[in-house]
Structure 1
Amino acid sequence: MRKLSTNSVATSIAKLQRRSILALEGRDTYTFLQGAITNNVKMLEEDQQSAHANHSCIRKLFYSAFLNPQGRTMSDALMFPVPKPDLPSVLVEVDSDIVEDLVKFLKRFKLRSKFSMQDVSKDWSVYQIWGPDAEQALNLQDISKAGGIIAQDHRAPFMGWRVLIPSQANVSITTQAEISEVSSDEYKAHRMLCGVAEGASELVHGASLPLEACIDYMHGVDFHKGCYIGQELTARTHFTGLIRKRIMPVVLTHPNSSAPDTRHVDPSWDLDFSKYSTDVRLVTENQSQSSDKPRRARSAGKFLGGVHNVGLALLRLEQAEQTFDPNAGKMLIIESEDGASLQLHASRPDWWPPKELDRNS
């Protein structure tokens, strides 16, 4: 098994409780979205036509983000076209914590556009299934009959499949009885191991930059489409190559412990991360062992959150890479209120483009 592998060892399914669904429908739906999101809606239109022609429940996952006029992330979003023959119709999945604020924000730009926007979260249940047998285990026939939607989550390798099921439908998502439902925390840990940020707690509402959140790496930004809200900062940052920070997966250990050999979750870790500072510091091994730590140690980024022994952190690439060499004597740490510290073992996900091809690293 290669070091820091992102591949799962078992097939799992989780119901995601903190996701909301917005339904956009009307003749100007695609026109409005084209000017409001970072990705190109042409794929959505083509997918709707294909789904209507084939009567299939399979969709192409459309990933994008809503930005404010200053170019900061309002929300990440997963979108699914509804196969109606003569009326554009799209389901937009977002974080439940910001759905009300997002709707208010979007209505400012709706103006005279001919489409409706409703929160239909109560009508849908959202699931994620992942693992080596996830695709074979999907109950395509029953999901299709129930009016469900299935899309492969291509934000990162091994992420699995997103499944939307009508809330009132009594249908099994898998054909294999041995695949049991796990908690949403297990999905969160799996997602963090893959290096995928999601929701307002990790993509801070009105503050995060889409390229620092790797939304471009996850096929969520089209740099050749027309103008959209917040485009200027995003385009300028991309074409000038000034991305110095990225969200990276981290594995947590106690200071000076050896780096973990794999990226399997350790359920025995049950930490209250709210007691730890979000400030990630780059220190030497001597500093980490000293009780008289310098108060102005160099900041390397922000810890965004974690579950068990894994998490995500927005890190300065230059400083994070200093810790990749075990002989360099550098480490990343966060500290708790009582002075205890944890070491963060950051890694560059293998699905990122090679450094020699990534002009922004």
Structure 2
Amino acid sequence: MRRASTTVKFITTGCEFRPIRARNISTESQLSKRPFTDFSLARLHSKSLLRLSGSDVYPFLQGILTNDVQILEHGASSLYTQLLNIKGRVLCDLILYNDTKEAGNVLVEVDSSQTDLLIKTFKKYKIRKKVKIENETNNLASYAAFGCFNEQPETDVSSIAMYRDPRIPQLGWRILSSQPVSHELDSHAQEEDAYRQHRYKLGVGEGPEEHIPEKSLPLECNSFLLHGVSFSKGCFIGQELTSRSHHTGVIRKRIMPVTYSSAKSLKAQSEVKLCATDKSAGTVRCGVNGYGLALLRVNDVLKNGAAIYTTDSNGDTLELSTNRPNWWPEGVGVL
């Protein structure tokens, strides 16, 4: 008799494997409802949406993306994944949604600056597969509802689709709305920077400014911890290097949250150094209103609360602080 899969997963730390227990994430049916006014809501102008349709959509995506798209095919509403190049470097962050109106169709959310790149790459690998690619950016808008991650937004707004963010519960919900009704949501939506700040506090990166295309490695972007990579699904583009890094357990650098004086401006790609030794500890990614992200050497910056600094946009010294995100599973970032 075939045994059910175990709930024990192995997560790579900086130097070794440590077993962890899979986390329980509440299903939508278990969540209480709260009105939209209790949530922070932001329209994500930086996101575009593509619609993929046709009989080969799921096998096409399964063969090129890092996550197991069969999860989506078998009923999940949303899925986080990445598209890598052949060297195992990140090209795009994606969230896939099962279309609630057209069964078998998949909506793909991508950073707006990468829409043309994604369409071109999809067409490159589509070959003879029966997949139709349509740009729905002018027809659909994406929103993030966050701040009450144990509850589900309740709304009487028609013609919207609501999805739990597939990464971690603290990120809340994604809402897809047709443009004709989006003004009903826009009436109490915040600026997108409010959502960026929320992500930065959590230490979650996304998009080409934070996951540098063709340079960033998916495991350094915490994609596995964010449920965006499957090592049991079979082949995907860039799998060899990603699997080798995972199974050797050597993930020395990770995207981590940083805080700094809100009166200062964080400079992207500036070097982060240890105050005690001036040794390089990583590089800054982005920041807004005193919160940001940096790619840091985990052991170095978490050792005895090591002090770190960088240079701001004026070239002046800027002190930073960081912490181990509380959503990281047990065994990750523990010295």
Code of the aligned partner of 1:108: K
Say whether residues 1:30 and 2:58 are aligned partners.
yes
Say which of 76, 86, 91 aligns to 1:74. Answer: 91
Structure 2 counterpart of 1:199: 207
- TM-superposed CA distance for 1:88, in Å, is 2.4
SS across alignment from 1:215: coil
User: Across the two proteins, how many residue pairs are aligned to each other?
Assistant: 298
Match of 1:272 among 261, 265, 270: 265
31 and 359 in structure 1: CA distance in 2 versus 1, 3 angstrom threshold: farther
Question: Alpha-carbon deviation of 1:116?
Answer: 0.8
What is the CA–CA distance in structure 1 between the aligned matches of 2:259 and 2:313, rounded to whole Å? 20
Contact 2:150/2:169 (<8 A) preserved: no
Task: Compute the TM-score of the two structures, normalised by the length of structure 2.
Answer: 0.82
Deviation at 1:207, TM superposition (A): 1.3
In 2: Cα distance, 1:132 partner to 1:75 partner: 28
For 1:100 and 1:23, the matched residues in 2 are separated by 14
The percentage of aligned residue pairs carrying the same residue is: 37
Taking the TM superposition and a 5 Å limit, the aligned residue runs for 1:155-170 are 155-169=167-181
- Structure 1 residues without counterparts, runs of 5 or longer: 1-9, 48-58, 254-268, 288-296, 325-329
C-alpha separation between the residues in 2 aligned to 1:226 and 1:338?
48
Unaligned runs of 5+ in 2: 1-37
**C-alpha offsets along residues 117-138 of structure 1, whole Å, 9 cap, x if unaligned?**
1211111111111123884543
Greater mean deviation of Cα atoms: 96-105 or 185-194:
96-105
2: CA distance, partners of 1:62 / 1:333: 36
Deviations 1:270-325 (A, max 9, x none): 54334x761111122xx7xxxxxxxxx3111110010011100100111111252x
Kept after mapping to 1: 8 A contact 2:264/2:312? no
2:284 to 300, 303, 319: 303
Contact 1:283–1:331 under 8 Å retained in 2: yes
Counterpart-to-counterpart distance in 1, 2:98 and 2:111: 18
State the secondary structure of the residue aligned to 2:157. Answer: helix
Which residue number corresponds to residue 281 of structure 1? 273
Q: State the partner residue of 1:99.
A: 115
Q: Give the Cα separation in 1 of the matches to 2:218 and 2:57.
A: 23
CA–CA separation in structure 1 for the residues paired with 2:197 and 2:40: 12
Please tell me the root mean square deviation across aligned C-alpha atoms, in Å: 2.4
**Residues 225 and 134 (structure 1 numbering): CA distance in 2 closer, same or farther, change over 3 Å?**
closer
Are 1:190 and 2:190 matched, yes or no?
A: no
Aligned to 1:40, the other structure's residue is in SS state: coil
Task: Report if aligned partners of 2:299, 2:333 keep a CA contact under 8 Å in 1.
Answer: no
Deviation beyond 2 Å, 4+ runs, structure 1: 132-138, 169-174, 269-274, 336-339, 358-361
- Indicate the SS of the match to 2:110: strand
Give 1:5's aligned residue. Answer: none
Correspondence for 1:39: 67
CA apart distance, 1:208: 0.8
Higher Rg of the two aligned structures? 1
Cα distance in 2 between the residues matched to 1:198 and 1:170: 24
**Distance in 2 between residues matched to 1:185 and 1:38, nearest whole Å:** 28
In 1, Cα distance between equivalents of 2:107 and 2:171: 20
Considering fraction of residues, name the structure with more strand: 2
Residues 50-93 of structure 1: CA distance to partner in whole angstroms, max 9, x if unpaired?
xxxxxxxxx633100011111111111011111467x6210000
Asked whether 1:142 is paired with 2:123, we answer no
**Conservation of the 8 A alpha-carbon contact between 1:68 and 1:74:** yes
Distance 1:31 1:252, change over 3 A: same
Q: Encode CA deviations 1:232-277: one digit per residue, 9 max, x unaligned.
A: 1111110111111110111114xxxxxxxxxxxxxxx254334x76
1:336 maps to which of 312, 323, 328: 312
Shift of 1:360: 10
Distance in 1 between residues matched to 2:263 and 2:101, nearest whole Å: 47
Deviations 1:173-219 (A, max 9, x none): 49xx9xx3211001100011111101110011111111100010011
Q: Secondary structure of 2:225's partner?
A: coil
Matches within 5 A, 1:11-30: 11-30=39-58
For 1:213 and 1:96, locate their aligned partners in 2 and report how far apart those are by CA, in whole Å. 20
Distance 2:334 2:59 in 1: 31
Q: Aligned partners of 1:90 and 1:119: how far apart in 2?
A: 12
Displacement of 1:170: 5.5
Is 1:351 the counterpart of 2:332? The answer is no
Distance change in 2, residues 1:222/1:277 (3 Å): closer
Partner of 1:258: none
**Partner Cα separation in structure 2 for residue 222 and residue 331 of structure 1:** 35
Q: 1:307 and 1:171, CA in 2 relative to 1: closer, same or farther beyond 3 A?
A: closer
What is the Cα deviation at residue 169 of structure 1?
2.4
Residue 337 of structure 1, CA deviation:
5.8
